[in-house]
Structure 1
Amino acid sequence: MKLKHIKFALVAVAATTFFVSCSSDNSDTPTPTPPTTELKTEVNLSTSATLGSYLSDKTGRSLYFFSTDANGQSSCTGGCEALWPPFVVDNLTADKLGTGLTLSDFATITTASGKKQVTYKGWPLYYYAPVSGADPYGNAGTNTIEAAGKTSGDGVGGIWFIAKPDYSIMIVRSQLLGHDGKNYKSDYTVGDGVTTYFTDAKGLTLYTFKNDNFQKNNFTKADFSNNAVWPIYETYKIVVPSVLDKSKFSVITVFGKSQLVYNGWPLYYFGQDASVRGANKGISFPAPAVWPVPVKDLPLAI
């Protein structure tokens, strides 16, 4: 009987040891988890100490706007495309956008050369690809897209600008076409010729009123009953292209609303432009130069 008890005890100890050993082995072995698939974001916001936030591709290469694209179509053709290649993403969806970007701000157009190009807030997006590798022996070099984090294309020619998400002012270069159907030059005489002037971030033309005074809106009525004719440019933000002097912009209050001002001149839209990108009919209404477009060298209002 005593021998049976000893055998039983040994079997019990062995079983317990085996169970504990197995339990310990299982707890030390991590349970494998299925791999997760992460979609790469094709467009992101990068940051520069001097330029602030700007759009970049999935590798951090900078994207740009072109001032002559006010109407939302790419005007960079021929040799321009080698220096400023179009940015394109196939089937751009919300999950391919970085934090702070909204899909509704993006679209895709077809360029004159038949290429696809992504737009942001109506502006076609480009890379900057300066020539590199040229030498004194006649080798012309090749166009190479600038490296990630570089922003050397900003301000080129005064018409190429880093693509920022928060501009309140943009610069465009376009023909003035008045309400009367006539082309106008920069001096508001009839004729052909491009003018460089300001729009809002979406390419909608801005105007000044010749009868205004320094930081004084003399047009808008207190009840805003005439605001539909010449709506004030209502914003409190001052984010401008790098070639402009930010200190020349300010904000005034017009009957409780904020209106952006440049060099003392309050800024307006023209109602009959009907929110069409690049339209500038107001330059001849009711007569040429009564409501001129704001330009960089606009004299200080008095």
Structure 2
Amino acid sequence: MKKISIIGAGSFGTALAVVLKDKDVDVSIWAREKEVVDGINESGYNPSYLTDIELPKNLRATHSLKEAVDHAEMIVFATPSHALREVAGKIKPLLGGKEIIVSIAKGIEKNTLMTPSQILVDVLDEAVLEDQIGVLTGPSHAEEVALLKPTTVVSAAYSKRVARIIQETFMTSRFRVYLNNDIIGVEIGGALKNIMAIAAGIVDGAELGDNAKAALMTRGLHEMKRMGAVLGASMDTFSGLTGMGDLIVTCTSKHSRNRFVGYSIGQGKKLDEIKAGMNMVAEGVKTAESVCQWSQENGVEMPITEAVYKVLFKNIPPAQMVEELMTRNPKEEKMI
């Protein structure tokens, strides 16, 4: 790749820029906020995200989408899933038609219930082909990626050729990329693990114990499979990096923003209070609303997702939701 443009200078977009620069790739990064652009260009630090990470000296940031996209062979969308449609719409008229498009967002769009790659297919129609769109996802906290700690993720796309290009572009001795041909499955895993991380945080914050957390993660994986089965995903995907792998790291790590939200709720704080104190997006909050809507519309039972939604948006006390989950009708343990 002669030039790669990362759209979004949040924590993971910044971390990926570090990975690519470590490979001596020509990469630029676009930020909406002028102070972030100035900070990266003038001080070599992102003033808002990963603030203690010294960035490569030749990494350049821009506030201009046109400048960012111009001559780029690959465009990486590192914006939150709820902002993806808007930003992609602004970039569409700037495209030349041959770019590889990559999403690293994890979520389900409200109302449309589209995954990030589906949003890009929808918005960029007639500008690029569906086969030019893919995703990079997996258990990868930005804080560790930026420090070049060993990380393993997955590339998936609507064509195997593009998935392989993404793999080859990002693969390093510290950032290992596997191919996966199940793009819907890896995106479902990436979205739902954030919901489960909020639930896991609630368990930790309320000191409900390791038994409860283990059960929650296991049954959360079950909900991923239920959604995936309806949408045509491969069940094997959920045993891999973007299913169980992402679920483990997001439910247990100190770096997880979604777990932090749940932990704070488990300690008695309200969602508005928690969000006011965060400068980064916890994707699981919006995703819980979207996936709960999806489960109701499709008649798919997803009790943990529904419980998280009720705690977040209906102000149901966590203790009450735990009681409701534990006293549901007796069932067999089925894998789907």
TM-score by length of 2: 0.26
Which has the greater radius of gyration? 1
Q: Greater share of strand residues, 1 or 2? A: 1
| Structure showing the higher helix proportion among its residues | 2
